[in-house]
Structure 1
Amino acid sequence: MKVFVFLVALAFFIGAFFLFGYAIEAPEQWAGLMFFSGILSVVVALAIPFHLLERTD
């Protein structure tokens, strides 16, 4: 179970890099939203191990 939770957190973290990268090339009205989504994705990716992995076995 820990491996699955880790892979989900890793997917969020890697996805954040793509959001950061595409935010530079996105149209101006979507660039801020994509960058902010990347920040939220990093937050979720870090929150999953800190809060879920200590409770699951």
Structure 2
Amino acid sequence: MRHYLGQTWHNGAIMNILAVAVSIFLFVSSFVLFAYAFAVPEEFAAIVFFTGIMSASLSLAIPFHLMGRRDS
């Protein structure tokens, strides 16, 4: 347990903040990959677009699986 700016932070809260930050980064980067798929040569376009889809999926899966439910 750490004291930070007069508040008590548990390690779980810090990990949740990190998970949200990573999720937001992945979600925004998926938009960049979607747009970039139309700028790369055609043989790489499908791979880049699919990577964008996987990035968006992973950005939603991280909070669903790591952060758990609030009602428990």
Q: TM-score with structure 2 length normalisation?
A: 0.73
Q: Which residue of 2 aligns with 1:12?
A: 26
CA RMSD of aligned residues (A): 1.1
How many positions carry a matched residue from both structures? Answer: 55
Q: Which residue of 1 aligns with 2:68?
A: 54
Query: Based on CA coordinates, which of the two structures has the bigger radius of gyration?
Result: 2
Q: Which runs of 5+ in 1 are unaligned?
A: none
Higher normalized contact order (CA 8 Å, seq sep 6+, divided by chain length): 1
Task: Specify the code of the residue in structure 2 equivalent to 1:48.
Answer: I
Q: How far off its partner does 1:30 sit?
A: 0.5
Structure 2 CA distance for aligned equivalents of residues 25 and 42 of structure 1: 19
Q: TM-score with structure 1 length normalisation?
A: 0.91
Task: Specify the code of the residue in structure 2 equivalent to 1:7.
Answer: A
Q: Which runs of 5+ in 2 are unaligned?
A: 1-14
Structure 2 CA distance for aligned equivalents of residues 2 and 51 of structure 1: 11
The structure that is helix-richer by fraction is 1
Task: Specify the code of the residue in structure 2 equivalent to 1:47.
Answer: A
Q: How far off its partner does 1:42 sit?
A: 0.6
Task: Specify the code of the residue in structure 2 equivalent to 1:12.
Answer: L
Runs (4+) of structure 1 moved beyond 3 Å? none
Structure 2 CA distance for aligned equivalents of residues 50 and 2 of structure 1: 11
Q: Percent identity?
A: 44
